Structure 1
Amino acid sequence: MIIKENKGLKILLVEDNPGDQVLVSDYLYAEFSKLNLDIASNFKEAKTHLTNNKQTYKIILLDLSLPDIDQSNLIKEIVVCAPNTPVIILTGQDDIHTAIQALTLGCTDYLLKNEISSKGLRKSITYAFERKHIDKQLELSVKRYQQLFQLNPQPICVINSSTGEFLEVNNAALKKYGFTKNEFLKMRIHHIDLNYAKEKFNQHISEEEILKNENLHEHILKTGKKIKVKLYGNEIDYQGIEATLLMALDMSETQSYISQIEFQNQQLKDIAWEQSHLVRAPLTRMMAIINRLEKKHFEDMNEVDNECSYLLKNVLSSAHEIDSVIRSIVDKTSNRNK
């Protein structure tokens, strides 16, 4: 990984020994041509730099032995002051327990002063940037999946694959089932699904079976109401636990929507049929009257009134056109409901 921060790389060196300050500074300037280095001789100065400096430090090089704070609290305080900045420990103590503690508290590396070289220091800083980059990507990934989990409109839960205990639920599940999150986390899947079995949740169910509400899971809401659901699941690792991610689709709602649509379609069909007959009856009479008037016109008059004949023909043509439109509407309504 190329350190882009090399252009104006800003580092804070926290070191009380003047000789070590010079040595580490020389190593840094030898490796980084555009270096912005600040030096603090104690924790108070370091805290001032971290809290007052407008430009964020990219790296903190920290000596564990400072005159104004004990070692056990030093790392914690530095991490509090600069939670997003990689910290590399510089120490003369070859103590494995101290090293483990430092790394546990969030430090990225632990270097012994008598073994430091310019190349080794550069390598440690490069590693710190790589680790920070990976940590940021993981953090963004976790946030992204948490958002997808919580904002999904369908009820989703994570259960322990062995015990059936709820490990996590999303907001849609809380709303659908009526339980609080604390209540869910004290329950098992069998409290809402009496017949739940891990091997059943991913079985294939045909559309016909769904419409008939067959082979679906029956879930019990907090109110005692029972709903039919289709479960989709995947095996996942959840914080080191073998778990199952389950999504529940409420087929009771789907069945209700289908019934409503079928009812509305039947109503439209009935309305179209009734209206077509109501409109066609007077239209048929009008067409018969026009035919009679046209016939009478030619029988009673020696000379044809061209204007009257033209008007009668147009009225009759319009009547036939309206009749065709009515028939088309009835045919379309009938085909839609087949």
Structure 2
Amino acid sequence: MKQFQYVKPATQQAVLDAVSKPGTKIIAGGTNLVDLMKRGVTAPDKLVDINLLPLKNIGITKNGLRIGALALNSVVSEHSFVTQNQPLLAMALKAGASPQLRNMATVGGNMMQRTRCGYFYDTTMPCNKRVPGTGCGAMEGVNRMHAIFGASSQCIAVHPSDMCVALAALDATVIIAGKKGERHIPFTAFHRLPGEHPELDNTLAKDELILGVEIPDNNFAKNSYYLKIRDRQSYAFALVSVAAALEIDNGLIKDARLAMGGVAHKPWRLFDAEKSLVGKPATEESFAQAAQLAMQGAKGYGNNSFKLKLAPATITEALKHAAGLV
């Protein structure tokens, strides 16, 4: 690891001034960034520690539930506002990482974490995300964990977060600060697909800072479920995960939200499948039909082709749990 400068500004403006300089990275919990630095995947000249900023808040606003960027994953997952009003988010957070990591990881850091693709982490291998133009080792290599949706010829890596899958399903909004003021963007628009620029994970500018997220009020608390399929019971990234939320009235689905993890470069929202469920009875047959619709455009790359069967089965099972059929 190369030598770097470390600063800990006390104000938001000082942070924004610092991060606008080239070679600068923000650090909060450091659960991903420090690993990347140790492995030589990234080598910032300066780290800007933002832990002095007042961004740990979790509260109800006129727009819904607001969670600060520095709120710890462990705290958010146990907070009464979250468990009572947005239990899908609590389930997803508890499915992620280990208790020790959740005690350090922040909401903003979770959003900014980078892929766990082995070719990205191995600096001896080609990776367009790490070094643009060098190729994608996973395309013809070991790609069991990789994308079946939204990939490009440049990259088939997946986003590793569980929390972000739930936030995408819940129509969250990201609150961002920059020198021109605040901007709010839909969570589904925050992360990017690889396209021709897989080195860009999201739409955050280099001189901007995540302040937090807001989740609008909804009627999904009674019928939500997060299902994560992985190689071992804990501390493993998703092969496939599904965030499912339903509003059910007299056995009929009034509204639905679905998003997947472990299948794309960003949390993968299943808009068409959601629409297909509205007005249908909350039955396994309806769920299986929606799951098949969700698979339109899916493509395997060899080692990961099993996901083409695992994904729809996981969607169906998650919806069954959300509806109380299991």
- TM score, norm. by length of structure 1: 0.20
Q: Higher relative CO (CA 8 A, sep ≥ 6), structure 1 or 2?
A: 2
Q: Which has the larger radius of gyration?
A: 1
- TM score, norm. by length of structure 2: 0.20
